Amino acid sequence: MLKPLFSIAPLTLLLALAACTEPTPAGGHKALTLSDTVQLTATGASPAPDKITPVRITFPDSRSYSAVPPAFHPKTCELSSSHFTAVVNIPGQVNLPSYGAGTPPMRVRCVSDQFAFDETVKPVNLTQQAYSTAAAAHILVGYGLVGAAVTASQASQRDKSQDVYGYPLKIELQ
């Protein structure tokens, strides 16, 4: 009577492990192009960017943009680094260049009559973030420690020279 149970156990384990796929790096599979408002400086034009990453600039999720008084609405934000400058409408998305581990910090400046946001944003390892997110999702979704362990094993064995660096995928104006 216990024999059918033992034949199901390997299949269950195989299905659980098959669901543990390698996470896709931020930016997905389709090739992105720089946004029209991004102007590369001479330093940013050579070498050419390694990757292009989408960055969303918005108010925190807890604050609806329409609920913010008009005097606090910055219409645009200016982005600048040693490699590029850009202007983005708020809330909005812009495709920015990434130069691997050499991606420079970026200044984000948004100003209106009664609101000012001026911060330097440092680049992050987007590949490492994707693996961390996948491991957390495996625990929450139900693959448990086995799924998280497989993801951690994949993360430790990856070729770190192929990691994608860029700016955080979401920048919240606070």
Residuewise pLDDT in 10s, the chain (174 residues): 555 544 454 444 444 444 444 444 444 446 789 999 999 999 888 888 989 999 999 877 655 666 667 677 788 999 999 999 999 998 899 999 999 989 999 999 998 888 889 999 999 988 877 765 654 454 555 555 555 455 555 545 566 677 888 999 999 887
Q: Which two tokens stand for residue 42?
A: 């001479």
Please state, in angstroms and rounded to a whole number, the distance separating the CA atoms of residues 53 and 28: 9
Q: Are strands 92-98 and 51-58 parallel, antiparallel or unpaired?
A: antiparallel
